[in-house]
Structures are given as structure tokens and as C-alpha cells.
A = this chain, B = another copy of it.
Amino acid sequence: MNDKTTKVGELKALVEKFVRERDWERFHSPKNLAMSISIEAAELMEIFQWLDIKEAASLPKEPTKAAHIKEELADILIYLISFCNINKIDMAGIVAEKLRRNRTRFPAKKVRGAFLKNYR
């Protein structure tokens, strides 16, 4: 499986099958899954906790760290997919919709090079 050939729906089906075979839907309330996403996101952050921004940027090139990072990303993604499966949410649809709105909020011309200044 890879991103070039796999449809989002196929990835969702894979996760759904895994969850259903274990009878885990009953734990997969949106409240619990939101917590799970957050917990796994914290585990990803922990890898970069004490590094400065530049050190952190080179970490995914170290093989052991890369494996750890991928595992935490997969955990976040699996819970996110499960959340969408259980609540019948179209992932491609919500991303496209959000980017559409962000294009209006942050027009490329206005934003380029000005972000940090605006932010602070």
C-alpha cells in the first residue's frame, strides 16, 4: 500500500476491518477517540520535546528516530480514521472544504512572508 495508488476510502476500510474484528467499536465513542488522538499527538511531540527547531528538523533523517516518528504518526492517523469511520465523515471532503475556507482567510498574495509579523 502506498499513497500514490491507495484511495482514502481503502485506508478507511482497512482500519474499519481491524476495529470490527476486535469488537472495539464500543470503545470508540467520539469523546474517547478525541482523547486518543490527543494522547498520540503528545507522544509524537515528546520526540522533539527538548530540541530546538533546527535540531528537530533533522531528526526524521535518523533511522531509529524515523521509525519512532512513523509509528506515532500512524497511531494518530488510525484513531483519526476510526473517528471518521464511526461518524461517517468524508476525510477528503473536509480537507478540501477547510482549505477552501483558508484560501479566503489567508490569501497567498497577502500572506507570503508576512505571517509571523501578523501573528505577533
Q: Is A37 in contact with B44, judged by CB distance below 8 angstroms?
A: yes
Give chain A's interface secondary structure class: helix
- Report chain B residues within 8 Å CB of A108: 21-22
Q: Is B39 in contact with A46, judged by CB distance below 8 angstroms?
A: yes
Q: Is A98 in contact with B76, judged by CB distance below 8 angstroms?
A: no
- Report chain B residues within 8 Å CB of A56: 29-31
For A, the interface residue count at a CB cutoff of 8 angstroms equals 83
A109 to B59, CA, bound (A): 28
Contacts A24-B115, A50-B115, A98-B71 hold; do A3 and B43 have CB atoms under 8 A apart? no
Select which of B27, B71, B94, B102 is within 8 A of A70 by beta carbon.
B94
Which residues of A66-120 have CB atoms within 8 Å of chain B's CB atoms?
69-71, 73-78, 80-81, 83-84, 87, 89-99, 102-103, 106, 108, 111-113, 115-116, 119
**Which residues on A are within 8 Å of B, measured CB to CB?**
1-12, 14-15, 18, 21-24, 27, 29-32, 34-39, 41-54, 56-57, 59-60, 69-71, 73-78, 80-81, 83-84, 87, 89-99, 102-103, 106, 108, 111-113, 115-116, 119
